[in-house]
Amino acid sequence: MSLEQAVSAPFATRQLADLGATVIKVEPAGGDFARRYDTVMAGQSANFVWANRGKQSVALDLRADRDRAMLDALIAGADVVVHNMAPDAARRAGIGVDELVASHPSLIACEISGYGRGGPRSDDKAYDLAVQAEAGAFSVTGDASMSKVGFAAADISAGMYALTGILAALVRRERTGQGAAVRVSMLDSLAEWMSAPLYGAV
């Protein structure tokens, strides 16, 4: 089950769906805003269709008691819960990864955020464009003038590391019965992909 919008978490969970998992995508009452990036795929955006194939979807308003009860029931029945809310916002909503694993000890709970938790920017909104700039990706686009990578590199890198962490946690749970809290930040993920160019620049 995933509370997700945009690209990073949807890309991670789409790969779980491709591997045969039943993925229930929980969207806000107005729907995932990525549905409206463009209309090239029969009225929906190319990014949305690409990152959400093979999923089931439900729209919930977490401020409504009935919808919140439905979310809690979905969490209770899930093997894996993923969200890409800011860590502090998730904790306020009662779905921080530590809180989820404390309540459901065998659960794999994964959060994807822009900047991780505990730092001065932990609750900042993150955008692929900004994270590409901050991680230095603009400097390796092959031109004297800096420009962004032509696809959502920060989102996709975070989605890949989330998938890796979830799969590793599932293997560990199979052996030990223990759940896990998996934390991935977009900046850390893309900075890792930039490691070789950064080493070369020193």
**For this structure, is 67 an active site residue?**
no
Q: How far apart are CA 71 and CA 60, in angstroms?
A: 8
Q: Compute CA 12 distance to the chain's CA centroid, rounded to the nearest angstrom.
A: 7
3-state per-residue secondary structure call for 84-131: CCCHHHHHHCCCCHHHHHHHCCCCEEEEEECCCCCCCCCCCCCCHHHH
Q: How far apart are CA 1 and CA 3, in angstroms?
A: 7
Q: Compute CA 170 distance to the chain's CA centroid, rounded to the nearest angstrom.
A: 17
Strands 80-83 and 24-27: unpaired
Element (H, E) at 72: helix 65-76
Hey, is 183 helix, strand or coil?
A: strand
Catalytic residue among 65, 79, 128, 155: 155
Q: Compute CA 201 distance to the chain's CA centroid, rounded to the nearest angstrom.
A: 30
Catalytic residue numbers read 155
